[in-house]
Amino acid sequence: APREAVGKGSARTHAASILRAMARAKRYWLFKSEPDVFSIQDLAKAPGKTTYWEGVRNYQARNLLRDDIRQGDGVLYYHSRVQPIGVAGLAIVSKSGYPDPDQFDKSAKYYDAKSDPEEPRWYCVDIKHVETFDGVVTLQALKAAPKLKDMMVVQRGARLSVQPVTKAEFDAVRKMGRALAK
């Protein structure tokens, strides 16, 4: 639109939204899922290649979903409790944290009778499929990569289902996953 058509209020609003976006840089995460519950292949087949990441019932992971994970953040999709265990692909956060609807649904697997709609206890985010690797970047391969020695998932006892990763770690794992192409 011509400059004359843009009111002063809209220019200020646009500038403010740009500043907010710049103030919070894209972040990166590792989300764990058991493939027999919901695999990267299930995400790729989901309507719109999107799902909500429900059922997190750990307060530390809940705080990340509620307070830190935002739309546009990158996700390493990790298959747990299966062989081989490891990163199976990539996703992106398509909707920032909001109350997990399953906590209020008595018929849902993740129903929580103590959760109050006025003060929700549990949160989720929406994620969208980006890429499925031709194989799995195994936990063993992650542990063997010197660049990933500080990554939370390779640390002993790191069982959190949602974990922060650095951009360098995300990029290294993505490169490893893409190298699996046949």
**Tally of CB atoms within 10 A around 26:** 14
pTM of the model: 0.86
Look up residue 83 and give its DSSP letter. Answer: S
Interval 35-77: pLDDT, tens = 999 999 999 999 999 999 999 999 999 999 999 999 999 999 9
Q: Of 106, 134, 161, nearest to 40 (Cα)?
A: 134
- In the chain, DSSP finds a helix count (H) and a strand count (E) of 6, 6
pLDDT at 157: 87
**Tally of CB atoms within 10 A around 144:** 11
Interval 132-158: pLDDT, tens = 999 999 999 999 999 999 999 999 988
**Tally of CB atoms within 10 A around 104:** 18
Q: Distance of alpha carbon 43 from its chain centroid, rounded?
A: 12
